[in-house]
Amino acid sequence: MMGSHRGMSWVAPAGLLLFAVAMTNGCGAKAAGMHMSYVVPGTPAGACTLEYNSGLVDPSADRCCARVGGPNTCNPDTACNATTGSPCCVIYATQVTVGGMGCCHYSNGDPVSGTNGDRTEECEGLLAGR
């Protein structure tokens, strides 16, 4: 697809075009009823997307509280403790999320950010099971 904007011409790679068409209704708005996926495409079912801070769970326990295709049992109201200090990051996103590994919920409600900037929307989506 070729296009132009303010006198500049461009050619969109096929993958970009498909992504843009899939994510918008042609006017740049997200299509009605469509949820953004916050998991890297191709991630297998059962992969962990969210996990508790290691200081909040027994070392022998599974830290994962949300998996691809599984229930989300993450509790953002989990309290920090002497190991984590306070405030703390309660829930972390894993490497299978589009924003990569990093904090997804601080105990004091601070906004979350990653290497690509603010990830509040992504983390809210992950915590909501999207």
- Burial class of 98 by CB neighbour count within 10 A (0 to 12, 13 to 18, 19+): middle
47/74 Cα distance (integer angstroms): 15
pLDDT of residue 26: 40
Structure pTM? 0.70
pLDDT of residue 36: 54
Each residue's pLDDT tens digit, 17-38: 333 333 333 433 333 333 458 9
